[in-house]
Structure 1
Amino acid sequence: MKLPLALLSALLLSSAAAQTVPLKHDEGTATVKKDPQRIVVMDEEALGWLAALGLSERVVGLGSTYFSPGDLVGGRIKPEVLKSGFYGRVRLNNPAYIGDWQAPNLETLTALRPDLIVRLTWQGNQNYDKLSKIAPTAGYQEGAAGFWQRGLRDLARVFGRQAQAERVIKQVADVNRANARKLLAAGVFRKYPKVVVVAPFAGGSNWLYTDVRLIPDLRALGFKDGLKPKETTLGVGSAISDEALLGLDKKTLVVLFPPGGKYNGADAFLKTPVGQRLKDQSVLYVPEAFSPYSGPLVSVRNSNDLTRLILEKVK
């Protein structure tokens, strides 16, 4: 029996829809086929989400701003690099290097035939239209509240791993609660009820993180904000002057959180008059090589390592 054309079309559309997931993200809406096998991540943050869901082996292309020419060979990331730092903690299957978020190699991306592209984004970020022509692209704004939890949950729907996402999110909260109790019992908050996170960059400039990049983890541990600037850039933080740093009171813990690789200016900062003035109330927290700034895997490491460093500080 032949089905009416309208009914046949409706059945075909319904079947296609059942095989896809609509993904509303911070740059628009993408229609992604369920359980994609070939994924490109534009940064380590997106990689961390996939790794938390047990999917990092499906990453065929990786973007990063960390690499120097010595980290690459023939357009690919050297095997020893993929075993280092954060990369060594996740399972990667020799992904191609697709450039950084500012200037991705669109030819390389196209040749990889990805089913999905995932990236961090912010106001004024480029290339979304170009990326979307290659594959469905989802972007999540770093400055948005709870952005990594949202990104993780959205991706979990695409891959049918919602229960795993909730376990991961709960694990982060449980680790923070346990460490908060340790800090409270040790009297840390009597000495340092407040905290600031300062990123010292090579070249002498310093940045205050106010909304993302370590500060949410410290809030979850029980600290209050030691300084809130009137304006921030891209919802991340703002430049901070030497005068503002010198104005911090003695009950504010200063967590020095330098950027990775060649941008790390922590050693130089600690030798400056400001660094020397703040030395007794500072802890230096260096991220592991190739680490994302945020995400579930990083938050667990941040919570445990910061708790250890702070407890050592107040002994």
Structure 2
Amino acid sequence: MPAAAAQSSSQPTTQPNTLTLKHDEGTTTVKKNPQRVVVMDEEALGWMFALGLGNRVVGLASSYLSPTDISGGKLKPSVLKDGFYARGKLNNPSFVGSWTAPNLETILSLKPDLIVRLTWDGNQNYDKLSKIAPTVGYQEGGTGFWQKGLRDLARVFGKQVQAEQIIKQAADANRADARKLQAAGVFSKYDKVVVLAPFSGGNTWAYSSVRLIDDLRSLGFKDGLKIGSATLGIGAQISDEGLLGIDKKTLVVLFPPGGQFNGADAFLKTPVGQRLAAQSVLYTPEAFSPYSGPLTSIRNSNEMTRLILEKLK
């Protein structure tokens, strides 16, 4: 072996094996290219899917799943083929509880080297999760929150190019669909929009940030309803009186939550729902879908454009 080669091979690498992320719950040192990841919600799962890393997910927390979706602590194969879960390659992940009530014992047994989650004011368990593995959290109401989370994960996995490509794809989808709506004269009939989430039990929320409304703004709509102080930075519960104040040039998008929380059918049977029916469209997300993220944004743009154009026929 030449002397120069021998000297080179004995020198330590200058590339550190870790990096430090500043996120909404603190500063965390993360091992690069982790192999075992626990995601605490579908939003974080969507970021992993967007980077082509669904097979690294060993544990999934969700408030959508019911006991009938689980067998032996794992998501049933049939569930993995349904809705948003089929968007990426999931390799038999364990169910680790809900967003707010994680099963810490199960997570510990999975020996993750990274935990990713959404967070909000008052969310708990960060300290407990951080004792198990490096944990990063992103606040849903924050500006550009999913882009930040996606880019941070891309740095961890060396997938920066893929992250920028799919962020651009989402923006391009919004621009292309905005042109279709403009060409069809949509904004002469509806220049404003409001996104309502009718929950089972009778409560209705109006979203002011992140949840579908950002994509509709990118399509060219203005806000059709002034929302007061937003809870968790994303929206507020709204009264029937407030709903009756929506004018005729405002498109009402009913965007119900998933699964057992979906109250859209009941809402449409109420006097307020019937009053707004002529200017309403119902947008049903995929089963197990996150509220936001690049894959969701692209679907939001394309499907909402299709529904709106059908509405105006």
Once the two structures are superposed, residues 52-80 of structure 1 have per-residue CA deviations (whole angstroms, 9 ceiling, x without a partner) of 00111100000000011111112111110
C-alpha separation between the residues in 2 aligned to 1:199 and 1:147?
Answer: 21
User: 1:19: which partner in 2?
Assistant: 17
Residue of structure 2 aligned with 1:126, choices 124, 127, 145:
124
C-alpha separation between the residues in 2 aligned to 1:35 and 1:168?
Answer: 20
User: 1:8: which partner in 2?
Assistant: none
1:182 aligns with 2:200: no
Once the two structures are superposed, residues 274-306 of structure 1 have per-residue CA deviations (whole angstroms, 9 ceiling, x without a partner) of 111000000000011000000000000010000
User: 1:41: which partner in 2?
Assistant: 39
Equivalent pairs counted in the alignment come to 303
Query: CA offset at residue 88 of structure 1?
Result: 1.1
C-alpha separation between the residues in 2 aligned to 1:165 and 1:99?
Answer: 28
C-alpha separation between the residues in 2 aligned to 1:121 and 1:103?
Answer: 13
User: 2:227: which partner in 1?
Assistant: 229
1:264 aligns with 2:299: no
Structure 1 segment 142-291 matched on structure 2, within 5 A: 142-291=140-289
Which ranges of structure 2 fall in alignment gaps of 5 or more residues?
1-10
The amino acid of 2:129's aligned partner reads L
C-alpha separation between the residues in 2 aligned to 1:313 and 1:134?
Answer: 50
Query: CA offset at residue 230 of structure 1?
Result: 2.1
The amino acid of 1:311's aligned partner reads L
The amino acid of 1:87's aligned partner reads Y
User: 1:92: which partner in 2?
Assistant: 90
The amino acid of 1:93's aligned partner reads N
The amino acid of 2:231's aligned partner reads T
C-alpha separation between the residues in 1 aligned to 2:160 and 2:210?
Answer: 24
User: 1:6: which partner in 2?
Assistant: none
Which ranges of structure 1 fall in alignment gaps of 5 or more residues?
1-10
User: 1:5: which partner in 2?
Assistant: none
Q: Scaled by the length of structure 2, what TM-score is found? A: 0.95
C-alpha separation between the residues in 2 aligned to 1:247 and 1:227?
Answer: 8
The amino acid of 1:32's aligned partner reads V
Query: CA offset at residue 116 of structure 1?
Result: 0.3
Report if aligned partners of 2:49, 2:87 keep a CA contact under 8 Å in 1: no
Report if aligned partners of 2:189, 2:249 keep a CA contact under 8 Å in 1: yes
The amino acid of 2:62's aligned partner reads S
Report if aligned partners of 2:205, 2:238 keep a CA contact under 8 Å in 1: yes
Structure 1 segment 26-65 matched on structure 2, within 5 A: 26-65=24-63
User: 1:7: which partner in 2?
Assistant: none
Q: Secondary structure at the match of 1:155?
A: helix
Query: CA offset at residue 228 of structure 1?
Result: 2.1
Residue of structure 1 aligned with 2:306, choices 289, 305, 308:
308
Once the two structures are superposed, residues 121-168 of structure 1 have per-residue CA deviations (whole angstroms, 9 ceiling, x without a partner) of 001100000000100000000000110001111110111111111001
Q: Secondary structure at the match of 1:283?
A: strand
Once the two structures are superposed, residues 213-265 of structure 1 have per-residue CA deviations (whole angstroms, 9 ceiling, x without a partner) of 10001001000011122211010100011111111100000000000000000
**Runs of 4 or more above 2 Å deviation:** none
Report if aligned partners of 2:114, 2:135 keep a CA contact under 8 Å in 1: yes
Q: Scaled by the length of structure 1, what TM-score is found? A: 0.94
C-alpha separation between the residues in 2 aligned to 1:165 and 1:69?
Answer: 34
Cα-Cα RMSD:
1.1
The amino acid of 1:72's aligned partner reads I
| Identical amino acids, percent of aligned pairs | 73
